[in-house]
Amino acid sequence: MPTYTYFAKKNLNETVEGIIVADSQDNAVDKLIEMGLSPVKVEVLASEARRTEGTGPGRILSFARLNRRDLNVFTSQLKSLLRARVDLLKSLSILYAQSDKEKLKIIVLDLHSRVKNGATFSDALSQHAYFFPNLYINLIKSGEASGRLDDVLAELDNFLSKEEEFKMHVRTAMAYPILMVSVGVCVIFVLFSYVIPKLSSIFADFEYELPLPTRVMLAASDFFKSYWWGILLAVFAFIGIIVRMSGSPGGKAKLDWVKLHIPIVGDLSLKQSLARFCMTLSLLIRSGLPVFQALKVAIPTLENAVFIKDLEVVRKEVMEGSTLAGSMKKVAFFPPFLVQMMSVGEEGGKLEGVLTEVANIYTQETDAKLKVVTSLLEPMIILVLGLILGSIVLAMLLPIFQINLLIK
């Protein structure tokens, strides 16, 4: 929907200007009149006009895809402005002016227009659910109801920062192993597709039988040279199947089940999910939501379909009057430690504090285990690649050693 800037008279001595979202310029004028204003000038926003013009590198760059980091920055900046006693509309105007992404500017403009026209901030956010998660919208709604919008934004900022920090740890830990594997695969590809075929013509003139490792290597090289396209096709087909399965509820549930039963990976995935669940539930309860409603919002934030299915059973039992700890005890993947801590929190009336503590414990355990795994993974990758490359070199040198022995 287009965005317009307007200059209008409020009364004989007062003028106002701002932005408004409407279907057309005439519709924008009608909206201003309904607001009790007398429009003097209504024009399409400059950035909106540029967006409708032709294509080019600048347009592609300005419409870069929004990501979680953009949400983190938006939340942090809005929190700071509200805590500085800047009102919401003025804060949104400031965020619009300093944003360098066109998509984000459009979202902020729409939020500004909806709030100015009487909508609540949470309702305005719900119109952009592709950018603002359900958890985010529900927390903002509870903050509006309790008059603690700035505090809720501070908690959201802290929550999003911790999630981003954990993801950064995972990416940093896995970057070097992935690089090593990629380089190793490229080296093996070059050897089998270019180097070994060159040497095979030399070995073809030998009058005696080649050693078994050399024959195996040459056979593998011939197969790779003839059917490399089939290997790549199989790899892409496998990736396509995984992507297609992950796009359907049934397929995703199967992939998540497999992920949980992979050694080491399954344990890491479990602890990461438990940490995220506890932190999210703590944040929701601390914001004033009852447990059953907090569960309804927190459960979809988990990325594992197996966990989500089991937790839906927990939520139903809690709605029927069961305690959270009693319901969780019936779910196999919840560790006894977590269930006992939940029970202590419920009995002492400090459930949100216990959840935060448990989330921190599981986050620290995940970080520690991830460091151990990556520290062991790197030498293992070096060892495996060394064995593969060493076997290839040995297979190429064995015929030469055999010739020297025969000459002697």
Rounded to 5°, angle at Cα 20 from 19 and 21: 135
**CA 215 vs CA 52, 195, 218: distances in Å:** 64, 15, 5
Question: Contacts for 82-88 with beta carbons within 8 Å, 24 or more apart?
Answer: 82/149, 82/150, 82/153, 83/150, 83/154, 88/115, 88/121, 88/149
Residue 161 contacts residue 80 (beta carbons within 8 Å):
no
**CA 114 vs CA 1, 127, 143, 292: distances in Å:** 13, 10, 18, 30
- The continuous run of DSSP H or E covering 38 comes out as strand 38-44
Task: Give, as one character, the DSSP assignment of residue 53.
Answer: S
pLDDT (0 to 100) of residue 54: 42
pLDDT (0 to 100) of residue 62: 39
pTM across the whole model: 0.66
pLDDT (0 to 100) of residue 405: 63
pLDDT (0 to 100) of residue 56: 37
Task: Write out residues in the chain with pLDDT < 50, as ranges.
Answer: 47-64
pLDDT (0 to 100) of residue 12: 59
Tens of pLDDT, residues 41-85 = 787 765 444 444 443 333 333 344 678 888 888 989 898 988 888
**CA 303 vs CA 38, 198, 267, 272, 293: distances in Å:** 51, 49, 15, 10, 19
Longest Cα pair distance anywhere in the chain, in angstroms? 113
Other CB atoms within 10 A of residue 166 CB: 18
